[in-house]
Amino acid sequence: GIQVEQSPPDLILQEGANSTLRCNFSDSVNNLQWFHQNPWGQLINLFYIPSGTKQNGRLSATTVATERYSLLYISSSQTTDSGVYFCAVRAGYALNFGKGTSLLVTP
Amino acid sequence: NAGVTQTPKFQVLKTGQSMTLQCAQDMNHNSMYWYRQDPGMGLRLIYYSASEGTTDKGEVPNGYNVSRLNKREFSLRLESAAPSQTSVYFCASSNSGGYNEQFFGPGTRLTVL
């Protein structure tokens, strides 16, 4: 199956800092999603982005499908951004998840 | 519009007991999915239903059965629970076809003793 690798695995930021999370995948995909799993375990949809660039407030994402990677940018981070960020790619029916980037934003 | 709902939120079972996890969606989606999440890992697909009346195995189907009751509801059954099935279970749904963003329920935290 498709391999999904996320980096870095862990990240600690001070409030107000910016960060870039990376997702590499091993094969062509027809869907890519970014999720935020909050400390209560809920999976929140951030972006559906098989290609191109999207922005939503302080978050933006870019997927370069031909080079098999996606980037998630978080600007002016807040403590509520803490949690785990997952990249998931779809080939067929299943979403194949990476292991996530665990983000802690400190006051 | 509740999205994807799951019951129960928490459950503790003894080895060998059975139970059914319930999932419902109100987004008129054709496809529904069951995933499990183990500590420190992403989600893995157990079973999916591409459309009403069809079900197929995912990556980790052993020990589980599913029923697509109607377009809205998709249940997951553990016939004889084992400690290895201790996990958090997520149900998801999506449209079929080109735009197929998946939306997830809040999860069921299951412990098998």
Q: Are A41 and B106 an interchain contact pair (Cβ–Cβ within 8 Å)?
A: yes
**pLDDT confidence of A29, banded at 50, 70, 90?**
confident
Tens of pLDDT, residues B5-60: 999 999 999 999 999 999 999 999 999 999 999 987 789 999 999 999 899 999 99
Residues in Cβ contact with B68 at an 8 Å cutoff, skipping those fewer than 6 apart: B32, B49, B52, B53, B54, B55, B74
A92 touches chain B (CB under 8 A): no
Tens of pLDDT, residues B71-106: 999 999 999 999 999 999 999 999 887 778 999 999
A58 touches chain B (CB under 8 A): no
* Residues of chain A contacting B56 with CB distance shorter than 8 Å: 93
Query: Does residue A105 contact residue A15 with C-beta atoms inside 8 Å?
Result: yes
A48 touches chain B (CB under 8 A): yes
